[in-house]
Structure 1
């Protein structure tokens, strides 16, 4: 009995290691102090409260695109509905184009370094040279009276002639214009023009082109943080009625539904569009490449006005060019409705775009809807624009161009498909689940990047996704903490923007899905969050609380570690100690001891002492007695009798445990990185079989530095691997093995000659085929 009990003692639960004084260091303390107090607007379950409200802003606009001067002229009427319980005596309006004004804080606060080689685009960022920004001609009330306003950089405060009471609405009209920036030469940007010198034409991707109402919410009041370039756009929902006047030979894509097809499209284009609405498999070309080339040459001086309407959207954007090719296909929803997936692109994008773009749009709608909700809008556009990826309701601008010979690299192909999925996916986050981008970039970029990864993997097996799996964030997580920010950092103050706002939150959600919650529980809770907050304005606490509320899993430790700290994951398997219960059987135990002694290493003196010719007792045998040949490991009849007596004293349960003769392995772990995570182990047994054990992260709740756990098995273990499937973002896997492993490192032999030029694989394949033909040999592929 004593031997059995001695083993069981080591299985007892350890006492808590956190005292009340140092509980602030406990990663399992609840997030109550960090999250806002639930109220009637946002409840403790993470759902909108019974008194939740949100504002509405409706727009009527007349816009003219001046292709000669590259300018936007516009007049807008804003109808603002005060659905809040608060009286308002002024309104805040975003003037995001002012980020390009000559006195912009963006130029003043940006840091710069000079390299040995600088492009014109890089140099253009060093000082303001483009005269951008809104020019406001007037702001008038519903009666046409001039209103008082004050412009504060990228924000404009409009003083109301009388207080806007709860439940009331007010109208104001703004007339404005601004110079359209060339995205390729005027410091980049999300919106602007691209000039094609070879045919002297422009391609316009136009957004942030009108003064837009700032968002007023229950939890933040006015979101009037200045736009410095990173923190994107926080907007309120409304209905849009927009007329856009452009050169008559331009094609226009925009947010919303085209109201006047008969005025702006040819009969041939209308017939093709009707056919496209029926097609579900292959895109139908509405405007061909040959037609686009003819328009490039024509440069008609007349103008046409395109009329679009959109309901319940948070923004409006459009694209316009005479260079556009246009294709489309229908995407059937689960409820039987049909959404139009459509693309416009110049010939410089072919054959890449005609083959992949619209299908990537359709694919995105199908899979994002699967994980969230049915796409509620009538259309989703993908517009080709060099060196950009940017999203707006129902329309997005995406990079991806071929070489002059029509070939492209695999990086270009998958990068283009990935950016289309990502930007179309933004229709869900934040265009519908409308988070505050100005404050929390990760709430739209991180969630969307996570869904992008899921959709990419549904596109093609082993799609080369840049972000999502845990092992892809390791290099960032183990980097210099001086240059890493917590995810819960304001958008304008983030170190390593892409890793922080896109990669880490996407990885965190994937780890939640694969390792912490499981796919079924995660998918249910995530879908619940999306549906609770579609067409509303969620905050981080609403996501955190919903995921816990819908799953019954306490995730406060996870949100705290991954979102509020810069700790990383590095859990080491520090020791593996094998045990077996002492059977008390003298035959078995003595045999085991004899084997251990035979296998035990011998000291050097013992080995060399074998060279002694004769010992004294070998010379004089009278020195020998009973103990000379005594074998302490030889069992006697008395030993066997005592063993039987021991067995007779055991209960049936104790005897069964003894007869099972299990192997016990005591594993010790050290948390080096500071971030607590589940412990995932793969055991390999002597017979070659394996078994995976998953230990929840709560094993660290009694102390985050070191833990020990015993695993019983019926078979002997030969090896153990910690995090065998690379699912926890462990930054150092060299300490994850028993027995320890060493990896083979390779070095390059010095090469005195270059490997060659930068041709892509398609070009190399063409050259190979040409070489084979010239040599008179057939293709080897």
Structure 2
């Protein structure tokens, strides 16, 4: 998924991680020593004579504009294939956890198929844990040098570091040479990507098997993965092969390796395949993992080995702890899905979180299956992280995710809302990150943003908003409720958006700007839904899911599904041009509003062929007489009604993008005038002459445009409205900034 349950995107409110001191040569020495023991790698050009190197995806790759070929990734899955996905890779892994040292000894048999039309002489592996081996990784360098904030910004103390080390790599019994590379031009000290020069090239369409021994030192859980006490969340822990994209896939025109460094805000991208993983832990430890547990556990020497198997996924994560309570189990059965076993793992102190998380997961299974497509797997495992390991919360992996943990989860409380939201959000990633499997490095909006939007649709259907109040305020009758899409709007950087939605995850103006991947995407999709209709947009999302499940769609593929599904090309292309491929502020406001009687004016007039001067004194008397007579005849007339017509004028100012806009003017007699307009001109003036005086003027009266930077300047009344001057919206926004600092970027 992503940095999971980040409700909104106020990255700037999070405390900055304290500056990491330069650790110097002594800190780096153990790693340098380990590197020296590895086989020296031959230069790329000499790895295999006559075997051309395959280039990397661009270091600044972002939103794809050209749709993928119809047969990309093997073409759409029709449902009659032997497997759900076109499996490219198979992992057989044996992992032994030492919970005292927080280390993993691993042996891996990796079988990979060359999908390209040329021989492959070198492959690339991700070693994600090396992001946490020192302050000199790409991840840590971005955090330090760019002053980026990350999730909850847990500081790394001495002894908290972690790493992944290759012990041995062989192909068909022959030693494989390797060396670290930095595909995105990061520091030479980054070791999150390793190149393997193969003794035997892999022919087009052929497969090869690599035998890999590796060792992991887990970090203290500071960013998604690691340990705290006896609790272990083991994620991005095994050597994972990069994706070889071929022509016609995600804008590629020639084969290329998509294998970016582990950037601070980036997540993951991998081929579909099959995982067969045996996990050995002390026998008193409970294990939860991706996939189904297969066969009987094997016990030996005080340890127990459990086997988990899952096909048609692109990642594998697990947890182990001897403090887990008895798991809470439930089931889901729905049309088109197998019977799904839902398991919640939790510590005794958070027992009250387990049932709400179970119910939210089952409800999510029903909603996502109904609105997108049936859930295809047989398991979902939910982990409630323990006290002091909250940074492990709010992360997603196939059939396995971590939620959050709160002391009080009574219905109607803020923390109950947060638990429900995080659970729904992390489950939703099982669709947008898991099944659709978009590239989270380069196009994070396809996972984080679209998932955030679909989560809010589910909450809207549940009529579940956020109570912005306290027990005391409830007692005095003040209990405002903030709808989900209103919350998203608060985090969308509508004042001055920093980056296009289609920008990649690492080339960002700020952490707050990265957060708009969530909130601004959800807000943009909300506005698109208002423009094309709820049913049309849901139809388009169903088409997108059906066409691209178990493949790897790009932003261009999503755009084309929206166009076809809604039948409204111009609207979709306008929004993508303004918000996805570029960034345009939306800012319409009412600059002037008046409604005045259209009284006769002095001067000469021509009557019966003669010029007659109407003096001011004569006109004043005539006006007064006419008003008196009219009031006598209409004693029950409303304020703003009289013998003379009113001329109403509204001046609308446009400081941002061209969006179809609606202006509605309401008059004292209850009538209204509605104007729909668009265009790039900086202002437009509208006027009416009617028997009734205007009362109010309102832009976007139906709340269709949440991207508008300031809702307070969208409406005017002729009489003062003190509720607007109190700026409740601003007050609530300020309070939420503090509140969601705890929830942001999960």
TM-score (norm 2): 0.70
The residue that corresponds to 2:661 in the other structure is 679
CA distance, structure 1, for counterparts of residue 328 and residue 615 of structure 2? 98
CA distance, structure 2, for counterparts of residue 626 and residue 147 of structure 1? 105
The residue that corresponds to 1:402 in the other structure is 407
The residue that corresponds to 1:573 in the other structure is 590
CA distance, structure 2, for counterparts of residue 629 and residue 454 of structure 1? 62
**Native 8 Å contact 1:350 1:401 kept in 2:** no
Q: Secondary structure at the match of 2:458?
A: helix
More displaced 10-residue stretch of structure 1: 53-62 or 222-231: 53-62
More displaced 10-residue stretch of structure 1: 739-748 or 56-65: 739-748
Task: String of CA shifts for 1:83-138, please: whole Å, max 9, x gaps.
Answer: 23343221111100110123423333432799xxx9xx96844x875442112110
CA distance, structure 2, for counterparts of residue 629 and residue 563 of structure 1? 60
**Native 8 Å contact 1:668 1:709 kept in 2:** yes
CA distance, structure 2, for counterparts of residue 694 and residue 222 of structure 1? 52
Query: 1:536 deviation in Å?
Result: 0.5
Query: 1:54 deviation in Å?
Result: 6.8
1:177 aligns with 2:215: yes
**Native 8 Å contact 1:60 1:240 kept in 2:** yes
The residue that corresponds to 2:49 in the other structure is none
Query: 1:155 deviation in Å?
Result: 0.6
**Native 8 Å contact 1:58 1:240 kept in 2:** yes
**Native 8 Å contact 2:598 2:646 kept in 1:** no
1:176-215 equivalences in 2 (<5 Å): 176-183=214-221, 188-195=222-229, 202-215=230-243
Query: 1:675 deviation in Å?
Result: 2.1
Change (3 A) 1:666 1:176: same
CA distance, structure 1, for counterparts of residue 614 and residue 92 of structure 2? 109
1:76-91 equivalences in 2 (<5 Å): 76-91=108-123
The residue that corresponds to 1:198 in the other structure is none
The residue that corresponds to 1:111 in the other structure is 144
The residue that corresponds to 1:134 in the other structure is 164
CA distance, structure 2, for counterparts of residue 629 and residue 252 of structure 1? 93
Change (3 A) 1:224 1:358: same
1:312-323 equivalences in 2 (<5 Å): 312-323=312-323
CA distance, structure 1, for counterparts of residue 615 and residue 691 of structure 2? 40
Q: Please, which of 164, 182, 192 is the counterpart of residue 202 of structure 2? A: 164
CA distance, structure 1, for counterparts of residue 562 and residue 421 of structure 2? 27
> Across the two proteins, how many residue pairs are aligned to each other?
583
Change (3 A) 1:88 1:485: same
**Native 8 Å contact 1:150 1:158 kept in 2:** yes
**Native 8 Å contact 1:477 1:568 kept in 2:** no
The residue that corresponds to 2:18 in the other structure is none
CA distance, structure 1, for counterparts of residue 403 and residue 89 of structure 2? 28
**Native 8 Å contact 1:467 1:506 kept in 2:** no
Q: Please, which of 503, 514, 518 is the counterpart of residue 489 of structure 1? A: 503
Query: 1:719 deviation in Å?
Result: 2.8
1:30-109 equivalences in 2 (<5 Å): 36-38=65-67, 40-41=69-70, 56-102=88-134, 103-109=136-142
Query: 1:250 deviation in Å?
Result: 1.5
CA distance, structure 1, for counterparts of residue 519 and residue 241 of structure 2? 30
Change (3 A) 1:561 1:466: farther
Change (3 A) 1:215 1:734: same
The residue that corresponds to 1:452 in the other structure is 455
1:667-746 equivalences in 2 (<5 Å): 668-672=651-655, 674-688=656-670, 693=674, 695=676, 699-701=677-679, 703-707=680-684, 718-729=695-706, 730-740=708-718, 741-744=720-723, 745=725
Task: String of CA shifts for 1:516-573, please: whole Å, max 9, x gaps.
Answer: 1110111111111111111011111111122112222122221122223443222123
More displaced 10-residue stretch of structure 1: 719-728 or 500-509: 719-728
Change (3 A) 1:437 1:110: same
**Native 8 Å contact 1:251 1:320 kept in 2:** yes
Task: String of CA shifts for 1:406-426, please: whole Å, max 9, x gaps.
Answer: 989923222111111111111
Per chain length, whose mean CA-contact separation is higher, i.e. which structure has more relative contact order (CA < 8 Å, sep 6+)?
Answer: 2
Q: Please, which of 517, 528, 536 is the counterpart of residue 512 of structure 1? A: 528
Please tell me whether Structure 1 or Structure 2 has the larger radius of gyration of its CA atoms.
Answer: 1
The residue that corresponds to 1:442 in the other structure is 445
1:300-449 equivalences in 2 (<5 Å): 302-325=302-325, 326-335=327-336, 337-351=338-352, 353-385=353-385, 386-387=389-390, 388-402=393-407, 410-449=413-452
Q: Secondary structure at the match of 1:134?
A: strand
Change (3 A) 1:539 1:128: farther
Query: 1:629 deviation in Å?
Result: 14
Change (3 A) 1:474 1:670: farther
1:257 aligns with 2:235: no
**Structural RMSD (CA):** 4.0
Query: 1:478 deviation in Å?
Result: 4.4
Q: Secondary structure at the match of 1:348?
A: helix
CA distance, structure 2, for counterparts of residue 252 and residue 34 of structure 1? 38
CA distance, structure 2, for counterparts of residue 565 and residue 629 of structure 1? 58
1:147 aligns with 2:184: no
CA distance, structure 1, for counterparts of residue 401 and residue 395 of structure 2? 6
More displaced 10-residue stretch of structure 1: 385-394 or 489-498: 489-498
Q: Secondary structure at the match of 1:426?
A: helix
TM-score (norm 1): 0.67
Task: String of CA shifts for 1:483-518, please: whole Å, max 9, x gaps.
Answer: x222222211222155321111111111111x2111
**Native 8 Å contact 1:391 1:426 kept in 2:** yes
Query: 1:433 deviation in Å?
Result: 0.6
The residue that corresponds to 1:761 in the other structure is none
Q: Which runs of 5+ in 1 are unaligned?
A: 1-32, 196-201, 265-299, 580-594, 603-624, 636-661, 749-781
Q: Which runs of 5+ in 2 are unaligned?
A: 1-61, 79-84, 182-190, 468-480, 603-611, 623-644, 729-746
Query: 1:681 deviation in Å?
Result: 3.5
The residue that corresponds to 1:656 in the other structure is none
**Native 8 Å contact 1:348 1:401 kept in 2:** no
Q: Secondary structure at the match of 2:431?
A: coil
Change (3 A) 1:519 1:633: same
Q: Secondary structure at the match of 2:163?
A: coil
1:540 aligns with 2:562: no
More displaced 10-residue stretch of structure 1: 563-572 or 415-424: 563-572
Change (3 A) 1:737 1:77: same
**Native 8 Å contact 1:80 1:170 kept in 2:** yes
**Native 8 Å contact 1:671 1:705 kept in 2:** yes
1:551-630 equivalences in 2 (<5 Å): 551-553=566-568, 554=570, 555-574=572-591, 596-597=598-599
**Native 8 Å contact 1:95 1:154 kept in 2:** yes
Q: Secondary structure at the match of 2:559?
A: helix
CA distance, structure 1, for counterparts of residue 615 and residue 175 of structure 2? 118
Query: 1:715 deviation in Å?
Result: 8.5
The residue that corresponds to 1:591 in the other structure is none
**Native 8 Å contact 2:93 2:108 kept in 1:** yes
1:273-284 equivalences in 2 (<5 Å): none
